[in-house]
Structure 1
Amino acid sequence: MKRETLVILGVVAGLLVWLLIAGDYAVSRTNRAMIYALMALSFSVLAGRLGWFSLCQTTLAGVSGYVVAILGAQHGLPYAVVIPAAILTSVLFAVVFGVLTVRARAVSFLMLTLALGQMVWALSFQWVGLTGGYNGISGVRLPMVLGFNLNDPRVFYVLLATCTVLIFLAVHRFYNSRFGLLLLGIQENEQRMRALGHPVYLARFAAFVLAGAIAGVAGVFLVYDMGIMSPSPLSLNQAVLVLTAAVLGGYRTVWGPALGAGILITLQTGVAQYTDRHMMVVGAVLALCILRALRVLVEIPGSRPQGHDIVHITTIRSGGGRPMKTLKTIAIGSASALAVAATVNAQADDTLRVGVIGPTSGVFSFFGEQQRMGVELAIEELGDEVAGYNLEVEFYDSQGDAEVTVDQLRAMDSRDDVDIVVGPVLGGTGLAGLEWASGSGVPTVISYSAPEDITMRDRVENVVRAGWTGAQPMFAFGEYVAEELGHEDIVMVGQDYAFPYDQLGGFMRGFCAAGGNSVERIWHPTDTADYSSILATLPQGDAVLYNGAGSDGLAFFEQYRDFGMHERMPLLGGSNFYAVGDLPEMGEAAKGGVSALQYAEGLETDNFIAFRDAFWEMHGEDTMPLAPAEHGYVALKMAVGAVDESGSLDRDAIISALRDTEMEDAPRGPFHLDEYGNPVQNIYINEVKEVDGRLKNVPIKTYEEVSQFGPYDAEEYMASEPYSRDFPPSDCSDDFYQQ
């Protein structure tokens, strides 16, 4: 029997044995490793055969994933149409990219693929009507086939493993074909291959398209594995991870990408179990791999492997000439993965385990840290035991990424046996969490994440919310602006993504119902630093509403005043615009700024003061508890209260108790959940004032018991189309507002 056949049989046998002995979480991580292996293989076809390092292979995979989500989840086309269309679209993008890059060399090729990839990544954020922007497109599911649920991780594993092995075998054959050897010859001596009459550029182009097709297959599996498609798989971070997997395993061999992907996923999974600083370890490995890759790329003397000068193409053989050594290496890697996956905490039946997920690293870590601090205060108040159960709370870092969120949630359920989930915090991760929860059945209390459909059109029985929807506080704010401030025409400048759309939708409904006339829309991309072109042509109105927050909001606030616009029109804020964290930078000029939220740092109720003082005692008076902290605090108390009420860890009993939540003593004010699982609560019109030497949002008017549907009938509200950059209409005389 040939050694090559032994390698294949060994791989197949290993995959079958792993399916039989591994737990559900280990199987799901293996699925992710195989998907990364396909993307790394796509990279290696170019890097190993041509010496090209491409940073757009994840982009091609992402394009395929978006086609699946758009055609399948949004338009309901059959899978027999969706999947081929997705792969074909990836191939078409590869054709376009190939035309633009095929004549480039080394660093130029890398930079071109980086630029093309980032262009598509940015487009996925900005073309919200097609891609869903940051929130992405959820509800991507596989069908039942012959009684088998392809969404089950083990059934999915069989399908994915079969396709992965077949693709790797096909690439192995390709590497040893005349065309594969031609590519290797082009890498070693392009001029000689051209002199021998070989079509060098056409061969490169064909290789790029082939790699794009492999990436397209990987993208199809990725979106079905995640259940949601967002911009994160197209990011530079993902491209670097794929490069790392290829370099780590050996991109010059056929099986190297599989080995590298397995090691990378094992490293991510294993280290995360033992330290919150796991990204530092993974980052160190990434840095070493990138340095190695760059050493080859710039051709430092001694970096290229020594080999014979190529004269006759028929004498070349691929780099996979040591199959037994490869098999042994893969076996070692698999054994290490098994060791990590088997490291599961021993679970006791008398423990209530709560998993709290939010971004504690990355650009959104502020929100995750606020949630964490609120949860820690709730833990201290609740004590170590609840309803006869020991309380155990574990924190998980979502990194603000939908893919990471799904992986962490799977770890909670399959590896750590968590009973209840608290979080996520952000919009896109909240939708990813909803998609996961719909399949897992784990009781979930969403804390701060605000997309409407979490508790509306896409609601599921086991998910409730402790926080809000984006539109909820803006119903009241629109009414206040029209009735109390007397404004009739508003100019809205806002960040161009889903959350500000929801905010404006709620504002428009309240504003128009209260006698407003119109709202002029001006959207801008996120991470905008210069607003001069917007401010120079700003239409006249009674007031300007800035619908956004963060660094964009600060830049707009400062430039608005620099242009003297505040003397013409007062500046109103979306719910997060006058956030306490930004007020010190806004300074005295922020005084008088008005916004609306279900929370206010300037509340003077006994419950809020007790919460604030306890928070300061634990975390220091320099840190003001904001809405994410209060919502995390409340979410944990809701979760624990449901167990206390039900008297058991039975999921159905916990879910039933959660849905009956009424909290009269919440720091923000009393609330209860509506039949869809969202709080009916106070909304505060807040004004920025200086209190005890500190700028705060102080309530100046309270709207009590505001629902996520405002004053509208729930079913009629949900029958309307979701808010978008152009909906609802800007003119209050439109028939939409007369219903």
Structure 2
Amino acid sequence: MLTRRSLVAAGAAMATLAATRGSRAQASPIRIGMLTVKSGALASGGRQMEDGFRLFLRERNNQIAGRPVEFIVADTGGQPALAKTRAQELVQRSNVHLVVGPVAAFEALAINDYFAEAEIPFLCASAAAEDMTQRKVNPWFVRTSSTSAQPCHPLGEYAARELGYRKIITIADDFAFGQEQTAGFQRAFEAAGGKIATKLWAPLNAADYGSYISQITGADAVFAAFAGANGQRFLRQYAEYGLKQTTPIVAAMTTVDEGVLHSMGDEAAGIISAGWYSAALESEPNQRFVEKLRKETGNDPGFYSVGSYSAGLALEKALVAIGGKIEDKAAFMAALRQVRVDDDPRGPWHLDEYANPVQNIYIRRTEKKNGRLMNTVIESYPNVSQFWNYDPEAFLKAPVYSRNDPAKI
């Protein structure tokens, strides 16, 4: 026979069971997928991107917003078709809540539509494809690095106005990242009074740059935009051909990225570059970050490791804001797009309305300090957006940066 006491006891037991189930559901893992590259020209960037995110997770004992994290890494091989396959596997087999990565712009372009259709949060820690935060905005996409051209606009202006260069030859990897970097540099350099004399394009897998270097003549300087280990190979050959002393180089961020700088020698010394990070920044968050990553990898952090670490910081702020409930995808994306990060190793940043960072851009000089090459900051441009000093509406009416635009050469 049921008594009032037994009914109360049964109700309490059911409430306890429900609470326990709710607690277990709340404590279930957040599944994070990462698309990286483990072989080929972009492998060094892929390893660093993974290093940066793993450091972020270790600092938090593999938990974010009170929930454990299951981290699943997939190798794209730096191939767009394989990147799409790996993306589908992460979503359909591993049931990830979000994806971090990939390394290259052409990979991101290959998978963006799939993530948009599947409504999977896509936290881009590296790939800098311009149009993904410009004319073809995916509401499930947020970038924590920069567009390809974002650091190159200030560098173009600096090269003309501060360094006094009037004629420059450019050389870059012949894929979206290199093309967009070059176009951004060209636009700002020519707006400041300079002229691009010639543009040279090398395949991403180039093993020898001799035929390109032999075409470099009659310029005040060279703008070099390379990714992965290609910058190291180009700079070494450039010095061997004897051009380093006669025709200085100004470089895109990844050409002398800290991730490969440790493998370089005198060929890199003195190069002026621009980027949204330098391991030489003296802020407390950066000094702490550099110390930890050096201890774990033996090398300084750079473009790829900081981009993924920043992705972790943004992810954490968004998840804390919604109580860790990543299953509420709409609420998560709304929170993610509103994050402001003030404790990042690179310095403070926030997202514009297109989900791309507004951040400091640093003009850097590669110098040897305490026995290692570092990118010493010599000038800072605060709060630089992807549109530089151009009107966003007018900017977006023009074609996306490419091999030929903004000028036909």
TM-score bucket (shorter structure): 0.7 to 0.9
2:243 partner amino acid:
M
- Of 95, 111, 114, 1:417 maps to 95
2:52 partner amino acid:
G
Q: Is 1:350 aligned to 2:27, yes or no?
A: yes
**Structure 2 CA distance for partners of 1:356 and 1:699, relative to 1, 3 Å:** farther
Aligned partner of residue 608 in structure 1, secondary structure: helix
- Of 39, 42, 67, 1:389 maps to 67
- Give the Cα–Cα distance (whole angstroms) in 2 for the partners of residues 353 and 404 of structure 1: 25
Aligned partner of residue 471 in structure 1, secondary structure: coil
- Of 294, 298, 302, 1:616 maps to 294
Identical-pair percentage: 33
- Give the Cα–Cα distance (whole angstroms) in 1 for the partners of residues 408 and 197 of structure 2: 5
- Give the Cα–Cα distance (whole angstroms) in 1 for the partners of residues 270 and 335 of structure 2: 42
- Of 161, 165, 168, 1:487 maps to 165
1:543 partner amino acid:
A
- Give the Cα–Cα distance (whole angstroms) in 1 for the partners of residues 262 and 346 of structure 2: 23
Write 1 or 2 for the structure with the bigger share of helix.
1
Corresponding residue of 1:721: 399
- Give the Cα–Cα distance (whole angstroms) in 2 for the partners of residues 669 and 525 of structure 1: 34
CA contact (8 A) 1:518 1:730 kept: no
Deviations 1:414-454 (A, max 9, x none): 33332222222221221223122110111221110111112
Matches within 5 A, 1:590-609: 590-609=268-287
CA contact (8 A) 2:44 2:228 kept: no
1:646 partner amino acid:
I
Aligned partner of residue 373 in structure 2, secondary structure: strand
Aligned partner of residue 193 in structure 2, secondary structure: coil
Matches within 5 A, 1:444-523: 444-523=122-201
Q: Is 1:406 aligned to 2:84, yes or no?
A: yes
Corresponding residue of 1:696: 374
Corresponding residue of 2:117: 439
2:265 partner amino acid:
G
- Give the Cα–Cα distance (whole angstroms) in 2 for the partners of residues 380 and 642 of structure 1: 19
- Give the Cα–Cα distance (whole angstroms) in 1 for the partners of residues 77 and 206 of structure 2: 22
- Give the Cα–Cα distance (whole angstroms) in 2 for the partners of residues 369 and 535 of structure 1: 29
- Give the Cα–Cα distance (whole angstroms) in 2 for the partners of residues 667 and 674 of structure 1: 20
- Give the Cα–Cα distance (whole angstroms) in 2 for the partners of residues 534 and 429 of structure 1: 26
**Structure 2 CA distance for partners of 1:662 and 1:411, relative to 1, 3 Å:** same
- Give the Cα–Cα distance (whole angstroms) in 2 for the partners of residues 393 and 496 of structure 1: 33
TM-fit CA distance, 1:390? 3.1
Aligned partner of residue 138 in structure 2, secondary structure: coil
- Give the Cα–Cα distance (whole angstroms) in 2 for the partners of residues 414 and 494 of structure 1: 37
Aligned partner of residue 383 in structure 2, secondary structure: strand
- Give the Cα–Cα distance (whole angstroms) in 1 for the partners of residues 263 and 63 of structure 2: 43
1:645 partner amino acid:
A
- Of 299, 309, 314, 1:633 maps to 309
Q: Is 1:538 aligned to 2:216, yes or no?
A: yes
Aligned partner of residue 201 in structure 2, secondary structure: strand
Aligned Cα RMSD in Å? 2.1
- Give the Cα–Cα distance (whole angstroms) in 1 for the partners of residues 30 and 90 of structure 2: 9
TM-score by length of 2: 0.87
CA contact (8 A) 1:350 1:388 kept: yes
Matches within 5 A, 1:148-167: none
Aligned partner of residue 566 in structure 1, secondary structure: coil
1:634 partner amino acid:
S
Matches within 5 A, 1:265-414: 348=25, 350-363=27-40, 364-414=42-92
Corresponding residue of 2:12: none
- Give the Cα–Cα distance (whole angstroms) in 2 for the partners of residues 557 and 573 of structure 1: 10
CA contact (8 A) 2:360 2:384 kept: yes
CA contact (8 A) 1:594 1:685 kept: yes
Aligned partner of residue 504 in structure 1, secondary structure: helix
1:569 partner amino acid:
T
1:709 partner amino acid:
F
- Of 316, 320, 325, 1:644 maps to 320
Count of aligned pairs between the two proteins = 383
Unaligned ranges ≥5, structure 1: 1-346, 732-739
- Give the Cα–Cα distance (whole angstroms) in 1 for the partners of residues 162 and 29 of structure 2: 48
**Structure 2 CA distance for partners of 1:717 and 1:567, relative to 1, 3 Å:** same
**Structure 2 CA distance for partners of 1:640 and 1:354, relative to 1, 3 Å:** farther
CA contact (8 A) 2:250 2:272 kept: yes
**Structure 2 CA distance for partners of 1:654 and 1:462, relative to 1, 3 Å:** same
- Give the Cα–Cα distance (whole angstroms) in 2 for the partners of residues 430 and 368 of structure 1: 14
CA contact (8 A) 1:359 1:425 kept: yes
Aligned partner of residue 358 in structure 1, secondary structure: strand
Structure number with bigger Rg:
1
**Structure 2 CA distance for partners of 1:683 and 1:624, relative to 1, 3 Å:** same
Aligned partner of residue 265 in structure 2, secondary structure: helix
- Give the Cα–Cα distance (whole angstroms) in 2 for the partners of residues 418 and 599 of structure 1: 30
2:305 partner amino acid:
A
CA contact (8 A) 1:426 1:449 kept: yes
Aligned partner of residue 378 in structure 1, secondary structure: helix
Aligned partner of residue 334 in structure 2, secondary structure: helix
Aligned partner of residue 244 in structure 2, secondary structure: helix
**Structure 2 CA distance for partners of 1:528 and 1:394, relative to 1, 3 Å:** closer
TM-fit CA distance, 1:675? 0.3
TM-fit CA distance, 1:671? 0.2
CA contact (8 A) 1:358 1:371 kept: no
TM-fit CA distance, 1:640? 2.6
- Give the Cα–Cα distance (whole angstroms) in 1 for the partners of residues 87 and 207 of structure 2: 35
2:36 partner amino acid:
P
- Give the Cα–Cα distance (whole angstroms) in 1 for the partners of residues 37 and 224 of structure 2: 27
CA contact (8 A) 1:689 1:696 kept: yes
1:721 partner amino acid:
P
Unaligned ranges ≥5, structure 2: 1-23
Write 1 or 2 for the structure with the bigger share of strand.
2
- Give the Cα–Cα distance (whole angstroms) in 1 for the partners of residues 44 and 228 of structure 2: 11
**Structure 2 CA distance for partners of 1:721 and 1:499, relative to 1, 3 Å:** same
Q: Is 1:680 aligned to 2:382, yes or no?
A: no
TM-fit CA distance, 1:679? 0.4
TM-fit CA distance, 1:505? 1.3
- Give the Cα–Cα distance (whole angstroms) in 1 for the partners of residues 75 and 241 of structure 2: 41
1:353 partner amino acid:
I
TM-fit CA distance, 1:405? 2.4
**Structure 2 CA distance for partners of 1:348 and 1:510, relative to 1, 3 Å:** same
